Structure 1
Amino acid sequence: MRAVKEALDKILAAACVVLFTVLVLTVSWQVFTRQVLNAPSGWSEELSRYVFVWLGLFGAALVFSERGHIAVDFIVRKLAEGVQRVIAVVVQLAITAFAVVVLVWGGWRASRLAWETDLTSLPVQVGPLYLVMPITGMIITFYAVYHVVLVLRRKEPAIGGHDTPGALE
């Protein structure tokens, strides 16, 4: 499981770098055509919107891989370790439910419904662009299961992020 996680981490990191580069170049082109040429490029605005969504979802999955999202855990940190582990598992299961229902199932439905819908400025359909939701949902589900297994085996602390309170100070 660790090898799959590490491979996914590398793929997501590379995808985020590529998507961020495309986003910067596309937005720069949009600004250049609007401000310098006084003839705004229509396709760059639409492309940047979809690249931004893909970047945001892939970036969120990558941060989730390291349990790096913001968590309000000051009360949980005061509880016994066993209770912390139970809460950690419940949280991961809730995240899994969200990822499966909203991202995988809902994203697949949205993609399927929009599959033949053409974009106005780009020569592609909307449906394939929506596939980022089920893809990201499956990745987040994998990471959630991965973390549950590690927490239950006591190979990972119940509370993600910093191991000790006040570690940021």
Structure 2
Amino acid sequence: MKKIIDRTFTAIENLCKILMIVQILSVSIVVIGRQVFGRTPVWGEELTLFSMVWASLLGASVLLKNDGHIAVTVLDTYLPKKAIKALDLLSYLFLGFYAVIMVIYGLKLVELTGLNMMPALKIKSSWLYGAMPVSAVLMVIILLEKIYLLFKGKDYKF
């Protein structure tokens, strides 16, 4: 199971890199079009927004997997190992609660925007907002893995 999760998140990380490249290219095209030609492509800003939203939210789940988020660890040198584990578990549970709320309301948002269109890209707006529940489900998967490893006693980062 760990191999599947690791491969999935490697693919997601690569997708985030591609989305960042798309974002950089589309912003460059918009800026060059505006400054040099006095006209911008109609799809430029929407493509930038789309790639930024997906890269940001998917990137948040990749950071959670790699323990890349900011963490307060000042007490870790003073607390016993069991207390640190309890605090880690508490933080995972809070993050999990937040991720479940993101899934629920993200799905509602996708449903709400299902009839709207992004005029330049000619896709439904729900594709843009779909990043929220997708990234939240990924976060839940990672948090479940972290909780499992915490109880299994494997060496974990934090």
For this structure pair, what is the TM-score category when the shorter chain's length is used for normalisation? Answer: over 0.9
Q: Percent identity, aligned pairs only?
A: 25
Q: Is the 8 A contact 1:119 1:126 kept in 2?
A: yes
- For the residue of structure 1 that corresponds to 2:123, the secondary structure is coil
Q: Does 1:137 align with 2:99?
A: no
Q: CA deviation at 1:29?
A: 0.7
Q: Is the 8 A contact 1:111 1:130 kept in 2?
A: yes
Unaligned runs of 5+ in 1: 161-169
Q: CA deviation at 1:60?
A: 1.0
Aligned position for 1:95: 95
Aligned position for 1:117: 116
TM-score (norm 1): 0.88
Taking the TM superposition and a 5 Å limit, the aligned residue runs for 1:72-87 are: 72-87=72-87
TM-score (norm 2): 0.94
- For the residue of structure 1 that corresponds to 2:118, the secondary structure is coil
- For the residue of structure 1 that corresponds to 2:117, the secondary structure is coil
Q: Is the 8 A contact 2:53 2:128 kept in 1?
A: no
Q: CA deviation at 1:121?
A: 2.2
Aligned position for 1:165: none
Aligned position for 1:147: 146
Runs of 4+ in 1 over 4 A off after TM superposition: none
- For the residue of structure 1 that corresponds to 2:99, the secondary structure is helix
Aligned position for 2:41: 41
| Number of equivalent positions | 158
User: One-letter code of the match for 2:103?
Assistant: V
Unaligned runs of 5+ in 2: none
Q: Does 1:128 align with 2:127?
A: yes
Q: Is the 8 A contact 1:77 1:84 kept in 2?
A: no
